[in-house]
Every structure is written in C-alpha cells, then in structure tokens.
Amino acid sequence: MALPEFLFTFIWVAVLLYFLWYLFMTDCDTILAIAEKFGKPVSDFAGKVIWVTGASTGLGEAMAYELASVGAKLILTARSKDLLQKVKEECIERSNGKLSKEDILVLPFDISNLECHKDHVENAINHFKKIDVLINNAARYQVGEIVKTDTEVDKTLFNVNYFGPLNLSKLLCKHFLQKGRGHIVVITSIAGKVGIPSTASYCGTKHALHGYFEALRMEYNRDNITVTTVCPGIFSSSIFEKTITTSTDKILQKDYDHYECVNMTSERCAHLALVASVNKLYESWVAYQPFLFMLWGAQYLSDVYKIVVGFLYSKKRINQLYEGKWPRDLLVWRPLLQNKVKTV
C-alpha cells in the first residue's frame, strides 16, 4: 500500500474507533475523559474554601462528600436546615480527621430570596476570610405542556435556577476581584444545550445560564476569574420527586423511572463535575447515551440534530414526557451500553 493510501486508511480507522469509544465506552466528553485520566485529581481542592449550593440532596450532597473526603472547607446551602446539618456531620465523618466543625459552615436559605444573599456572603467571608470556589448547583425541575403552564411556574423556575445563581455569583465576583482570583462552577444540564419537550421553563433557565456565564467568563477572563459549566444528562437524585408541573402548587412527586434506564449515580456525576472543576475546564458534558450523542449532534451538526430528533419526538412520546415518563421504546437498546456504567 502506498504511504498516502495507508495514512488515509489509518485516519478513517482512528476516527471509527473514536466514535465507537464515544458511543459505547465513555460517560463524558472527550476532554473531560482525558482530564480524568491524566489531569489534576480532585484532591487538589484540599484546603480550598468551596461554596456548594443545593447541598442538601443529590448532586450537591455527593459533591460535598467527595470534597470533604479530600479536605476542602465547605459552605453548604439549601433550604432544609436539618438535611444540611446531616450532610455536615457526614462530611466530617468522611473527611477522616481532615475537617473539624468550624471547617463546614451551614447556611440555610431560599436562593430565590435575593435580599438575603448579601448577608450570607458576608457571613461566609467573615467565617473563612476568603472563598475560592462557588458551585452553583441548586435548581428545580419542571414538566408540563407549554400552553397549560402558569406564568408563575416560569417565574419560580427563573428565580431559583437563574436569578438566584446570578445574584450570588455577582456578589462573589466582587470578592474574587478583591482577592485577585476566583472560580465559578455552574451546573446546567443537557437541557441548557438542547430543547426538550415538556420542560420548556427549565430549558429556558438552563440556556440562560449558559449565555450569562459565557459573558461573565469573557468579561473577567483577565481578572483570573474562571468559569466552568457542567452539563449533566440524567443521573439519580430526588429532583423528579420535587418537580413543579403546570402550576406551582402541583408537584409531580414521582420517582422518575429514568433510573433503571439511565443509571448514572449522583456520586459518579459529582466526581466528573469536580474533575472538570479542578482542571478548570470551560464546558463539560456528563451523561450516558443517548444524551452524550445528542449533545455532540446538537453542538457539531445542529440542523441535522433538529431534523432527526424533531422527528423522534412524536406526539405520543411527548404526551409520555408530560406525565414524567420516558419514551421507553427509544431506549430499548440501552442494555447494549451497560458495559460502560462506571462508579467513582
């Protein structure tokens, strides 16, 4: 075989192998997979002061445990004081002597109540004298048909998922500018990159976060303020039990049947989000298939993605989504991919 012909074949085989790996073997985007193997470990966060919002359950709770286990000092916030207190005790236990009671500050508050943010930020800075990283994680989910959804639902979602993180980040940016550096991590979602039927308000809030924090990244790039956005697909947590539907007083209260189809644990998602953060990656995707592939399609083949996925969202499947059910027929091939289910 002549050399150019050999090179051509080699490139095609390499591209094919890459796609097979991406489809079947990984649970995150390529840069994050490389960072997990060869980049900085999460233990580089030891001694840093890290604020985790939404730390009472799910991803925030899992991130708090992993951060505590490497000796990071923590500010834990959410609405439920009791749950946060339990998370604090477990963090001390898991830190194996690296953290004492004073190294974890619990600040219970509703993130949509913007008026109280300034006092909490001052409290936290007084306590630790500095804050190194803010992880914006708190959020609510929503399902319901667009025309049946009260505007109050849209406002609630935006207050919790968008204006809350935005206001807190602004206050901390002032501190980071004085300190000369800082890091903001934003947990968005696959719904911040693509439109998903049945959850338009949630999609709106998560897309808005991408726009705002992309601008913040560019504005304060030269001031040593780093922004990392993490887009998870679906992982197990209690978010679907607290999901708002078409009005704010109607909660889905459903143990979403995603888990058995898309069984990423919140611990695995937390680990990858922290790897992305410690390596200061710009944007990371954490998901199993088909979500990882959807993100790839939406990013690199936008119009083709819209045509193909728009075709797959039939009326029947969209009606299932309104009820908080997954179109299982789309996921029948999931068992093929079970080999790549990873734990931390």
Ligand X SMILES: NC(=O)c1ccc[n+]([C@@H]2O[C@H](COP(=O)([O-])OP(=O)(O)OC[C@H]3O[C@@H](n4cnc5c(N)ncnc54)[C@H](OP(=O)(O)O)[C@@H]3O)[C@@H](O)[C@H]2O)c1
Beta-carbon count within 10 A of 46 CB: 14
CA distances, 224 to each of 46, 216, 220 (Å): 20, 12, 7
Q: By C-beta, is 80 or 221 nearer to ligand X?
A: 80
Give the residues lining the site for ligand X (CB under 6 A). 54-60, 78-80, 83, 110-112, 137-140, 160, 187, 189, 232, 234-235, 237-239, 242, 266
Shortest spacing between CB 61 and ligand X, in angstroms: 7
CB of residue 156 to ligand X, shortest distance in Å: 9
Nearer to ligand X, 183 or 193 (CB): 193
Query: Which residues neighbour 319 within 8 Å (Cβ) at sequence distance 6 or greater?
Result: none
Q: What whole-number distance in Å separates Cα of residue 144 and Cα of residue 288?
A: 25
Catalytic annotation present for 202: yes
The residue (of 110 and 177) whose beta carbon lies closer to ligand X is 110
CA nearest to 75, candidates 33, 30, 125, 138: 125
The CA distance from 175 to 186, in Å, is 18
CB of 113 to ligand X, least distance (A): 8
CB of 119 to ligand X, least distance (A): 15
Let me know: does 140 contact 172? Beta carbons within 8 Å: no
The conformation of residue 230, written as its DSSP 8-state character, comes to E
Measured distance CA(257)–CA(261) in Å, rounded: 7
Which positions are annotated as active-site residues? 202
